[in-house]
Amino acid sequence: MAKFRQFINVSYCRYYSVQQAKKKIPIISCKRPEFNHYEGQTYGKFEVIKLASQGWSHVKSKNDYFTIFGDAPRQEEETLFRKSFPEIGLTEELCDVVSQLGYSLPTVIQAKSFLPIIQGYNTAITAETGCGKTLAYLLPIIQHITSWKPHIQEDFNSPLAVVLTPSRELASQLAEVAQSLSENLNINVSTLIGGKTKKKIMDPPVEYTDLMIATLGAFSKLVTTGIIKLHNVHHIVLDEADTLLDDSFIDKLSALLKKFRIHYKCDIKIPPEGCQITLVSATLPHELPETVSAFMDPQSLRTVTTDKIHRILPHIPHKFVRLGKAQKPGELLRLVQADLNKNRQVMVFSNKTSTCDFVSMFLNENSIKCLNMNGRMAVPLKAGNIDKFKSGEVKVISSTDVTSRGIDTKGVSHIINYDFPLYTSDYIHRCGRTGRIGSPQDCFVTNFIAWPREIHLVQKIEEAVRRNKELPNVNANIRRQIVDRIVKMSGLP
């Protein structure tokens, strides 16, 4: 009898908890309301959670859906770090610049990052997409340069700070931001991207630069040939650091960074001594690769982060729709047409170039002007398409993951994952193309779910949100994940 009463009490408490939660805001709203998840609703550590996507492997689950509205917004951090630019230490000269550019207050990540960087610490900045990470490191670097420059012997092809990126598109965008910040500060900004590297080796440029924005490959080649000199470099930034630390880049990166004197803490003197490093990404792994120790002491990194990393952002609805493969084109056409009727900008992501090409042709054949963007396209064509899309000349773009990282697309209202991404980190970056600072208010994401592997990843994401945990396996080392998957499938030790 005592055990029965205990069971009744536990059941009643759980029922009462669920009923109280239902009075609050739904975090997950489902086609079948019995699967809704509410703010404040919790689960036991070993409790089996009923997922809305649990039965999606069955053919009868087609047309089912659920929408994640994210975790309940947390206001504590926003309040704590809502300081002005002068309060975080920005000089009056730079305060005038950011004011002219329309920035009134620093974002949370900008406020938290400024002090460790300006004091010369090696810093790892990890924050959600679209929260202002670019200014978080550019402002202290430009402030450094303005104080260093009068005390350094100027030399051609010898920058004071270098920002390295994995892609040309991101390098070009960062250079635009840096130019706008330094236009009236007597700071020379230059851009170095691949495509014309051989020509520069044969006919070396002679230019005075203070801040260089470069892709890793092009910068490495010109350093190796001695065209770019490193003796004046006192700050290195790895933007999209998780990609640059991936197996596909790490060997080249390690060889390059060994040429710098990266200190545990750069002694910010005039002129400064040593070189500091800043790592920046929305999906930086909690544990950096062992190869990082080849060029720096991993223990020297001061980590700056927010409480929203590796999570679904609360201000953007994420709708997951279970579809059959044959249903996807029709649903895509319906959604894009509805967006154009409301004058919204749309990005459609696919996993393969062939699918990306199909989406573009399909929409154009149905009288919807759509640009195409994939890694196999010529550089000038990619740059032209990005410019047309960002300017709003064309409202729809079909793309692979080539545009999922770092590109500032604050005009985008709707992200459609025609193919659901294979990795959680890719999902975070794709969704980060909308809901950015300066984006429209009604941003949202729609995901088409059709294949077993997609269903499996969606189930992991749904469970993480229900348990109020970080999204699973946010590790951008894609090559290593592929190798691990092959090994697992083959049964090798």
Closest by alpha carbon to 165, among 275, 242, 247?
A: 242
Phi-psi region of 40 (alpha: psi -120 to 50; beta: other; left: phi over 0): left
The pLDDT of residue 75: 47
Q: What is the pLDDT of residues 207-266, one digit of tens each?
A: 899 999 999 999 999 999 999 999 999 999 999 998 898 888 888 999 999 999 898 898
What is the 3-class SS of the chain, one letter each residue? CHHHHHHHHHHHHHHHHHHHHHCCCEEEEECCHHHCEECCCCCCCCCCCCCCCCCCCCHHHCCCEEEECCCCCCCHHHHHCCCCHHHHCCCHHHHHHHHHCCCCCCCHHHHHHHHHHHCCECEEEECCCCCCHHHHHHHHHHHHHHHHHHHCCCCCCCCCEEEEECCHHHHHHHHHHHHHHHCCCCCCEEEECCCCHHHHHHCCCCCCCCEEEEEHHHHHHHHHCCCCCCCCCCEEEEECHHHHCCHHHHHHHHHHHCCCCECCECECCCCCECEEEEEEECCCCCCCCHHHHHCCCHHHCEEEECCCCCCCCCCCCEEEEECCHHHHHHHHHHHHHHHHHCCCEEEEECCCHHHHHHHHHHHHHCCCCEEEECCCCCHHHHHHHHHHHHHCCCCEEEECHHHCCCCCCCCEEEEEECCCCCCHHHHHHHHCCCCCCCCCCCCEEEEEECCHHHHHHHHHHHHHHHCCCCCCCCCCCHHHHHHHHHHHHHCCC
What is the CA angle 176-179-180, rounded to 5?
A: 90
CA distance 328 to 306: 36
Q: What is the pLDDT of residues 272-320, one digit of tens each?
A: 888 999 999 988 877 777 778 888 888 889 999 988 888 887 789 999 9
The pLDDT of residue 317: 95
Closest by alpha carbon to 118, among 371, 358, 302, 369?
A: 302
CA distances from 62 to 36, 283, 457 (A): 18, 32, 17
What is the CA angle 374-470-105, rounded to 5?
A: 75
CA distance 144 to 272: 9
Q: What is the pTM of this model?
A: 0.84
Closest by alpha carbon to 368, among 329, 411, 328?
A: 329
The pLDDT of residue 10: 45
Those residues with Cβ within 8 angstroms of residue 303's Cβ, 6 or more apart along the chain or in another chain: 123, 124, 126
What is the CATH class of 21-71+311-487?
Answer: alpha beta
**Which residue bears the tokens 């402030």?**
143
The pLDDT of residue 475: 66
For residue 455, count other CB atoms closer than 10 A to its CB.
19
The tens-digit pLDDT sequence of the chain (493 residues) is 554 455 455 444 444 444 544 556 789 999 999 999 998 898 888 888 999 999 999 989 999 999 998 654 444 455 556 789 999 999 999 999 999 999 989 999 999 999 999 999 999 999 988 889 999 999 999 999 999 999 888 888 999 999 999 988 899 999 999 999 998 899 999 999 877 777 777 777 788 999 999 999 999 999 999 999 999 999 999 999 988 988 888 889 999 999 998 988 988 888 888 899 999 998 887 777 777 888 888 888 999 998 888 888 778 999 999 999 999 999 999 999 999 999 999 999 999 999 999 999 999 999 999 999 998 888 888 889 988 998 999 999 999 998 988 677 889 999 999 999 999 989 999 999 999 888 888 899 999 999 999 999 999 999 999 999 889 888 655 555 544 544 444 444 4
The pLDDT of residue 283: 86
The pLDDT of residue 375: 84
The pLDDT of residue 77: 53
Please give the single-letter amino acid code of residue 116. Answer: P
CA distance 294 to 471: 30
Please give the single-letter amino acid code of residue 238. Answer: L
Closest by alpha carbon to 168, among 119, 219, 111, 225?
A: 219
CA distance 375 to 352: 10
The pLDDT of residue 324: 95
Terminal Cα distance for the chain, rounded: 52
83-305: CATH number = 3.40.50.300
The pLDDT of residue 211: 97
Domain map of the chain by residue range? 21-71+311-487, 83-305
Closest by alpha carbon to 238, among 296, 180, 154?
A: 296
The pLDDT of residue 279: 95
The pLDDT of residue 5: 52
